[in-house]
Amino acid sequence: MSEVPGAWEQRKWHVIYIKARHEKAVYEELVKRGVDSYLPLKKELHQWSDRKKWVEVPLFSSYVFINIEPGEKQQVYLSDAFVRFVTMNGKPSIVPDWQIEYIRKVSSLYPETLNVFDTGNVGKRGVIISGPLSGMRGEIIDVMNEHWFMVRIEGLEKVLGVKVPASIFQPGS
């Protein structure tokens, strides 16, 4: 198999691991430096002794996605909260563009119902046939009588899920 000239110089979505509870600060710092970054957020209802409030929290704790070329890595190392680039089998974890777009879409449409699962959850493969996620391929599982549409996020060994009615999911390839 031959290498495509310049293939290593294409921008790709890498995953970086950072210190806990520093996701928003690192994301903002990277954006200020001009690094194409993405921090997916979800909404959680937090309760204090005197009130309840919806707050935005990182969807993937301690992870930020960055869209860089290999020569731009030094921009990331400058952050004090940076720990390491995530790797799988010694190679950088790369998340395909379509999965980043999926994360963007479901986190904007369903910020209160998103959940992240470990990759051990296995379901029926199929496709969403109607609604804003129409055409998305993934798996569906049942968790406590609720149907969750799942897409495995490459490079993180995590699965992103959103609750969907069973009627919009068509099992199959």
If you search the block for the tokens 């690192």, which residue do you land on?
26
pTM of the model: 0.82
State pLDDT tens for residues 11-45: 999 999 999 999 999 999 999 999 999 999 999 99
Q: φ and ψ at 23, to 5 degrees?
A: -60, -50
The answer regarding whether domain 1-95 maps to CATH 3.40.640.10 reads no
The span from the CA of 151 to the CA of 141, in Å, is 11
State pLDDT tens for residues 105-147: 999 999 988 888 776 555 788 899 999 999 999 988 877 677 8
Given a cut of 60, is residue 7 above it in pLDDT? no
Q: Where are the domains of the chain?
A: 1-95, 96-173
Q: Which CATH fold topology does 96-173 show?
A: SH3 type barrels. (2.30.30)
